[in-house]
Structure 1
Amino acid sequence: MAEIRATGRTRRTTKTIRATALAVALTGLLSTLSVGCSNVKELNYTPARMDPEPARTKTKQVSSSLLEMTGVKGKVTEPGPSVTRCREYGDDLFSMSHPWSVYEITDEQVDTGITNLRKALNENGWKITKDGKAKSQAQDPEIYAENDAEQFALHVTGSKKSATGNPMILFKVVSKCFKAESAKSLDGEY
């Protein structure tokens, strides 16, 4: 009978130790989660729900429409849009970045393209936030613009022929953060 009581006490002691360990672990986990949540920044807009592939397609469409706005015919660089995680706002948020350029054009086409783009941006929902000269030795024309409806921003520079390069129009198209179906859907995206 003494053995049964000792075994019963041992079981109760083991259960108490496990319950205490579980409580300590949960407390640690909850404090870690609450600290992690306090480090997540708030967006000042509601991100559109979209997974990477449809977001990549949309970014290509925005870039194509910008090329059409320039009215310039030349060669266009190949790399497509890439995914950038917006981790400071949440694990399932990402933005698209699409740097590209139009090249094998003339200095006159650079001027024409920038002039056409400047006019067309305003007519197509874009708000120009800066329009002037780049802070570089060449003082190339540059434009910054945003399109709230499409949730994209743009930086474009018209680079004329110089000792270091040929004429081209350089674009950087960046989206606001999109909300993926899950953080897992962003794994392996580039």
Structure 2
Amino acid sequence: MKIKLGVLAVAVPLALTTLTGCDMTDNDSDIPTAGTSTSSDAADVLEKTSSGIYDLIGVKGKTSDSRATVTECSGKDPDKYFRVLHPWSFTPASPGDLEAAMRHLKERLPEHGWKIVEYGPDASKNKNIRLTADHDVKKASVHIIQMAKDNPPMLSVDVVSGCYQVPEGQEVEHF
């Protein structure tokens, strides 16, 4: 399934700027609490986190074929610090299951360590339902948009990590 370019154009910047509810930096230093990792290892961890979120949906459907990507940490050296973003979408097998999918996420995310920091309709003409949740242990956030009036109806999901630092002597791999 292809992700609509317009959805990504709105969702990715929004996710990167609004997913700041979890404490992504250590109060005593500028080193991110997400830790030290290579870009590829951090991407693998975030994709597993995405898979865990997918498992909570609880209805049959298809996901987009997307991989995690590396983004910059605002205000930090882009050769040493990075975040990982994994955007994907979910289209239920039956359009009528979209509400159930979102309801399952709202109920099940907190049972798995996620704290919901935003839930409700947005200001768009479609009044899309948005859910943002943070996981302090995983140092990750998820932003989900229920797009019931799209054809086909779907969930747009952006999972983003905290800010990582690459190991000493390495640079950020961009992909």
State whether residues 70 and 117 of structure 1, in contact with CA within 8 Å, keep that contact through their aligned partners in structure 2: yes
TM-score by length of 1: 0.70
State whether residues 32 and 164 of structure 2, in contact with CA within 8 Å, keep that contact through their aligned partners in structure 1: no
Q: CA deviation at 1:104?
A: 5.0
Partner in structure 1 of residue 100 of structure 2 = 112
Structure whose CA Rg is larger: 1
- Could you list the per-position Cα deviations for residues 35-94 of structure 1 after superposition, in whole angstroms to 9, with x for gaps in the alignment? xxxxxxx64853311111111111111110111111122111112000112262233111
State percent identity of aligned pairs: 25
2:10 is equivalent to residue 61 of structure 1 = no
Moved more, 127-136 or 174-183: 174-183
State whether residues 105 and 168 of structure 1, in contact with CA within 8 Å, keep that contact through their aligned partners in structure 2: no
> Between Structure 1 and Structure 2, which shows a larger proportion of helix residues?
1
Q: Which amino acid aligns with 1:142?
A: R
- Of 32, 35, 46, 1:48 maps to 35
Partner in structure 2 of residue 169 of structure 1 = 155
- Of 81, 93, 96, 2:81 maps to 93
State whether residues 121 and 130 of structure 2, in contact with CA within 8 Å, keep that contact through their aligned partners in structure 1: yes
> Which structure carries more relative contact order (alpha carbon 8 Å, separation 6+)?
2
Mapped to 2, the partners of 1:73 and 1:43 lie a distance apart of 43
Gaps of 5+ in 1: 1-41
State whether residues 32 and 162 of structure 2, in contact with CA within 8 Å, keep that contact through their aligned partners in structure 1: no
2:171 is equivalent to residue 185 of structure 1 = yes
Partner in structure 2 of residue 138 of structure 1 = 126
Runs of 4+ aligned structure 1 residues displaced above 4 Å come to: 42-45
State whether residues 134 and 157 of structure 1, in contact with CA within 8 Å, keep that contact through their aligned partners in structure 2: no
Gaps of 5+ in 2: 1-28
| Number of aligned residues | 146
2:77 is equivalent to residue 82 of structure 1 = no
